Amino acid sequence: MTSRGIELVARVRPVHPGGFFLALLLVVSGACDGPHAPGPVQAATRQAVVGGAPEPGFPAVGAIVPVSPTCGDSDAASPVTCTGTLVAPRVVLTAAHCVENADAPQVLSVVFAAETARALGRARVRAVAGRIHPDWRAGAHDLGVLILAEDAPVPPVPLRGAPLPADVVGRTTWVVGFGLDEAGRTGLRRGGTARVTAVDPGAFSIEFAPAMSCGGDSGGPSFLEIDGTEHLVGVTSFGDLACTTGTNTRVDAHADFLQAVIEEVALSPPTRPPLDATVDACTARCEAHADCPLGMACVDQPGGGRSCAVAGLEAGRFGAPCSESDGARPCVKAGDACRLWLPCAEETVDGGGCSLAGGAVGAETCATLLALALGLARRRSRPHSR
């Protein structure tokens, strides 16, 4: 349930107006702008799991948040874009529209804590890759995973593989998410019950009873008790704007896809080379994100070829240590330190601006936070994602 929640945060309540983090958030909100439900537009209810309550349990349910590349931006202030469930030590199950493509995960972390603002560093695990169901399209097969850089600090929820019971219509499920609460804030794990109203081969529908997932809960789990055991049976996909009805992607119908990803990651856990800020990133070529250190992404160079850049920024190199941005040059995270980020095309510094091959440009151009202008495109005209 991302589009409503994230667009509200990005357009109405920016964390740092005019800053790099806001630009990053705006693009991530585009990545999570998934299906939109047909029908008349209604006033959005700004709650997470409407009718629910703070959920101290389900530690494997985490908040998916963007990571700002700039020093000084607090991780605790990161708004929630989606929700996900740990199903293997390094695999987080979520909605496909929360993953979007291979580029979006490079600027995402998953927070495993009941409240994101109070999460300790160990609870924040960086994503390094993502997978989406190969048949994903608007309103169908809305299932994806984020692959983590290291094992999560909590045990995963087992995928039991049990099919939905024949009598599931009319039964209640337990929905969990980190979306917007009554005060318009995100980041608190909440849960409540909803009722199953219909079942399709790849999804099932729910209505509030008295709870319902809402803005920011996309990708979150739906649990059903089967033979005395809670099973993860659904992933929040989309619903109406008033947060009274919703659609969940069935986990059992997509078990083969999930199991293949889990086995792939178990056999070959993702690794990244160590970050060395003294290496000229502009000359260190790459073919894929996996060739770059954690926190960096493989991006196109203006003159051709590809190189590693701080994830969310255009091609460049690390400069001098810093405590704040220097005009056009942002002060970025470089491992445990902070350094200026300099564009690869920069030749001379003149009057506090920067000159590039082809002429002088302004600060916004020479140090633009591209924030995944690697190809992240907004997808519109879909059922209303959550």
Residue 346's pLDDT is what? Answer: 63
pLDDT for residue 362 is more than 80: no
Q: Give residue 162's pLDDT band: very low, low, confident or very high (50, 70, 90).
A: confident
Q: Does pLDDT of 19 surpass 60?
A: no
Q: Is the pLDDT of residue 378 over 50?
A: no
Residue 288 has pLDDT above 90, yes or no: yes
Q: Could you tell me what percent of the chain has a pLDDT over 90? A: 59
Mean pLDDT value of segment 270-292: 92
Indicate if the pLDDT at residue 29 is higher than 60: no
Q: What is the mean pLDDT of residues 248-271?
A: 96
51 vs 45, 140, 191, CA distance in Å?
11, 27, 9
Q: Is the pLDDT of residue 21 over 80?
A: no
Q: Are 215 and 187 in contact (CB under 8 A)?
A: no
- The residue among 94 and 363 whose pLDDT is bigger is 94
Phi, psi of 31 (to 5 degrees): -65, -30
CA 299 to chain CA mean position, Å: 19
| Residue 204: count of CB within 10 angstroms of its CB | 24
Between 148-157, 162-171, 340-349, the lowest mean confidence (pLDDT) is in 340-349
DSSP 236-278: EEEE-TTSSEEEEEESGGGHHHHHHHHHHHHHS----PPP-TT
- The predicted-structure confidence for 77-135, as pLDDT tens digits, reads as follows 888 999 999 999 999 999 999 998 889 999 999 999 999 999 988 999 999 999 999 99
Span 346-359, average pLDDT: 37
pLDDT of residue 48: 52
pLDDT given at position 384: 62
- Considering Cα of 122, then 124, then 126, then 131, what sign does the dihedral take? positive
How far is 125 from 318, CA to CA, in rounded Å?
Answer: 24
Mean pLDDT, the chain, whole residue set:
79
pLDDT digits (tens, 9 = 90+) for 209-251: 998 888 889 999 999 999 889 999 999 999 888 889 999 999 9
Distances (CA, A) of 193 to 34, 170, 200: 24, 12, 20
Average pLDDT over residues 28-55: 45
> How would residue 355 be classed by pLDDT, with cut points 50, 70 and 90?
very low
Asked if residues 263 and 89 have their Cβ atoms less than 8 Å apart, the reply is: no
**130 token code pair:** 């993502």
CA distance 157 to 332: 35
pLDDT score recorded for residue 85: 98
* pLDDT number for residue 181: 65
The rounded distance, in Å, linking the Cα atoms of 200 and 50 is: 24
Tell me which of 58-67, 85-94, 192-201, 355-364 is least confident: 355-364
Would you state the pLDDT for residue 50?
Answer: 59
| Cβ atoms of 143 and 259 closer than 8 Å | no
**Phi, psi angle pair for 347, to nearest 5°:** -115, -45
pLDDT of residue 383: 54
Q: Residues 338-359: what's their mean pLDDT?
A: 57
- Give Cα 274 to chain centroid, integer Å: 24
- What is the rounded distance in angstroms from the CA atom of residue 382 to the CA atom of residue 90? 30
Checking if the pLDDT of 201 tops 90, the result is yes
DSSP 80: P
pTM higher than 0.75 for the full model?
Answer: yes
pLDDT at 5 (0 to 100): 30
Backbone angles phi, psi at 165, to 5 degrees: -60, 155
40-53 per-position pLDDT tens digit? 323 232 345 656 67
Burial class (CB in 10 A: 0-12, 13-18, 19+), 115: middle
Give the three-state DSSP class for 128: strand
Q: How far apart are CA 242 and CA 47, in angstroms?
A: 10
